[in-house]
Structure formats: C-alpha cells, structure tokens
Amino acid sequence: KLTLGIDLGTTNTLASYIPKGSKTPVILNQTKIPSVVAYLQKSFNNDSTNGDRNNILVGEKAINQSRVNSQNTFKAMKRIIGTTDPHGDAFKGFINQYTHHLNIKDTVKFDVGSGKEITAVDVAGQVLSEVRIQALNELEINESSKEKNKSFDVDAVITVPAYFNNLQRKATLKAATLAKINCLRIINEPTAAALSFGVLQQKDNRDGIFAVYDLGGGTFDISILELDGSVFEVRATSGDLQLGGEDLDYLLRTYVIDKFAKGNESLKKDMVSDENFMNELLKNCETCKIELSRVSSTTIAIPFAFKNSETGDMVNFKINIEEPELDKLAEPMVKKSLKIFRKCLKDAKIDKKDIKQILLVGGMTRMPFIRNSLSETFAKDSSSSSTIVNSTINPDDSVCLGASIQAGLLKGEIKDVLLLDVNPLSLGMETYGGVMSKMLVKNCNVPIEVKEQFTTGIDNQQIVKIVIYQGESNLCRDNVKLGELLLSGIPQLPKGVPKIEVSFKLDSNGILNVSAKE
C-alpha cells in the first residue's frame, strides 16, 4: 500500500510519502491543490464523493469557474467541518457567499441544486480523493479494476489544527473514508511541523524548548514542545479556529472597496451587490496579500468589474495597495495571536526566556509584519534576547513532511523517535445546575483513560443521561456538546446509593470514547 502524509489545509492541500528504502519524506508536487470544490448544475447521483466526477471539479478547475458558479463553489470548508450550527461564529465568513445553508438534524448541509445536498465532510472528501488520485498518478501506480473495488488502497496520516475538537476530528476521519483513504492517525499540525524540523533539519543540538507558531489560511495554532534527544513532548497547545489568512482577505476586500468608492455610497452599493465581482475581488485580495510579503506595493486590477447603476457603464476596478496598509489591517489579528501565545506559555509553565526557537509555519508567516512582531515581542518581553524566530523552514511543506514522518514511525520505517502529544480542550459531562465536571483536562497527555464514580440524584432512579461537553468554561452552555449517553437498568435504590462508573477514553487521534456501567 502507498502511505501518504497529508496536510489537509483550509486554503491548499498537499501530500508527501517516504520512498521505499528511504527515511526521508518527499513532497508529491501534483498533490498540491487548492482546497476548493465546485458542484456543477447537472444530474447528481447519490454518491457524493465517488460518483460521476465529471459533475464535480476540484482545485484549480473549481477556482477557474467560480465566478459563474459561486454559490456552488466551496472553499475553506475546513473552518466549518464538524460544526452543527449555521448561525455560529464559524459561519461569519460564509454569510455573504453561501445564502442557502441550512441546519438539518445533526449537521449543516448546503443545497447545490437538483435535490442534492452536501456537507463540509463531503467537500473535504472530494479534496482528499483528488489528492489520492494525483499521488497515484505521480508515482505511476495504476489501480487495477480489482484494486478499485477495495475499500482502501491508500494509507495516510492526516493533519488537523491542534485546537480541533472531538467532532471536527471525527469528521476528518469520515472525509478520509469517503475518499477511500485508510487514516492511520490524525496528528496535530504544529506537532507535525516540529517532527519535520527535529528529524529532518535540527538533527544536532536540537534539545530545548520550542514554540510552533502556525498561522495558516483559516486557523491559528500555537504549541510549546520540549525536544530531549529522540523524545518530542508537547507541553501545551492553544489556538483559534477562526483566525487566519482568510480573515485578512475579507478585511482587505472591505478596505479596498471603501478606498475605491471614496465615499460614493451608490458606487459602493453597486460593488457590494454584485456577487460575482465580490468573489473575484476576494481572490484578487488574496493574491495582493501574498505579493505584499515580497514587494512593498502592488495593484489590484479587474477590467469590466461591475456595472455603475447611475451611468449604466461597466467600471474598470484598479487600485494600488501599499504594505503598511495591509500591516494595519493585520495588526489586530497578530495581537490576538500573540495574546494566545502568551496564554499557552503560561499553561505550559514556561518562561519566555526559555524558548530556544519559534518555528514559523503556515503561509501567513511569510508576512514581514508577523515575523517582525514576534521578534519585537520576544526582545521586549524576555530578559534574554537569545530566542530565535526561525523562518528557514518551509512554512508550506513542513506540516506535510511531518505527517509522513509520523506515518514512518507507525509503519516502523523510522525508529528512535518518541512523540508525546496532548489533549487540546478539556472534556467532561454535565452535572447539577449545568456545571461541567471535567474528566480530562486541557493539555493532559494522550492517549489516556480516566474513570470516576458518580451516583443518582433521586430515589429509585433507573436511567441516567450523561451529556458530554468539550471546552474550558465551567458552564456547559458555553462549551461544545459532543453527545449523550443513556445508562438504563439501574437498580431502584435510594439516591446516592447506586455506584455508576463513567469512563472517558481519549485515543492517539484525540477522539473520545465514553462508556458507563453500574
């Protein structure tokens, strides 16, 4: 079987593998695709991932037709995978683009026409399926008809944000299954980047405490790790699943519209009400943001962009953007990320001066403003200025390469490395008054199992409902509900007499299993 390391990203997805007889992973260039999927208005069948792929476009093909099919072109779905509420914070960036999302049963579905509904899991499954196909093509592995009928023909380690909760991790596993990929392990993105750095680059003198600052297209993660010989131990992790380059794209789009309109509300209304123009401008803002990481000034130009309602003429949109303008827009985001960074250091009980290096991961960390902000923060906050902001690793490839290293560890191809990861968010259950009783606290090592005894609250109680939550608030209503478990057949006894044992078991993927017995 082919074994891949896959970085399933908000913006782009990429895979790598370890060639036979080697211990060094190699990037598969054909697998680098935008995480974008388009559903065409044709006859859909019931198989959402492996049906007629002529009706479904993935990657660059999906982007190329997005202007004429924006409502059925889906990107950044990683931000909402595993979420259930279309009115929640995760959907704020999607409000203008997707006007037809709805909440059905326990998941959010999108109506793409012809009676077809898809979910973020379906979109991720399509992206992973395309990665699998491109990897097999690049390595010239021909799938025989017999092999095509197998449940799985590719193994993989797939990366997720460290701050992904239980539902989001399970949804990622489901997407892999839809893509006919056997997921060996889910690994946190900052941990994968640290593996890549420690195993491939810093082979000598790598002992010490490192921070992985991972700011990608849709999410922000920060992890504090200690490297001691061959042991990679995560001390603490934190993040924000709604903080990334996508947010800056939207901020920049709003800014350039205001700058171009120059107070002309009618012109601004013409732009905002033109859905195709707004999507085209968003793509151009992303390109502008990327360019300003290497040049000090760039231009956004869209010919025949939108119609002026007062004159009836098509308007050519052209505007110049300077690097300081983008920096000012990014400043609140960067400050927020640094606040999370400081909290993570506190959780890990690590002093700033003890950080040996800060490893930069994710495309956004190419921004000079972000690199300078980190350098200035540590120079100002630390009594020692020895902390190195390491920008020598490839921010796009390191997570993917680390996933292949983890696959190599699981397959026995790479030895003498021990990885110890942590639980990103506390897990517990609802008790009297809606208070969450925490069973597994944030940053405990995984895998882990904890058992506790509880009892009944009323006389002769025969059924107990265990409601499971994940999050840091003491109140369940402020956390994420993961599910419910009913325990029946409890002997009719006075309250407080029955003994109920509840087990919370968290596996290496960060996925929870809860059981209870009397």
Phi, psi angles (nearest 5°) of residue 111: -85, 115
- Residue 384 tokens, joined: 């020692």
Nearest to 278 by CA among 295, 262, 256: 256
Residue 499 DSSP label = -
* 342 three-state secondary structure: helix
Nearest to 82 by CA among 176, 162, 165, 191: 165
- Residue 203 tokens, joined: 């082979």
Q: Are the C-beta atoms of residues 237 and 446 closer than 8 Å to each other? A: no
Q: Are the C-beta atoms of residues 222 and 189 closer than 8 Å to each other? A: no
* Residue pointed to by tokens 């509904």: 117
- DSSP codes of every residue in 433-492: GGEEEEEE-TT-EESEEEEEEE--SSTT---EEEEEEESS-SBGGGSEEEEEEEE-----
Q: Give the C-alpha distances (Å, rounded to integers) separating 83 from 103, 159, 171.
A: 10, 18, 9
- Residue 140 tokens, joined: 């010239």
Q: Please give the Cα distance from 378 to 389 (Å, whole number).
A: 9
Q: Are the C-beta atoms of residues 403 and 187 closer than 8 Å to each other? A: yes
CB atoms within 10 A of CB 409: 20
Angle CA(224)–CA(221)–CA(106) in degrees, nearest 5?
130
Active site positions, annotated? 7, 78, 189, 214
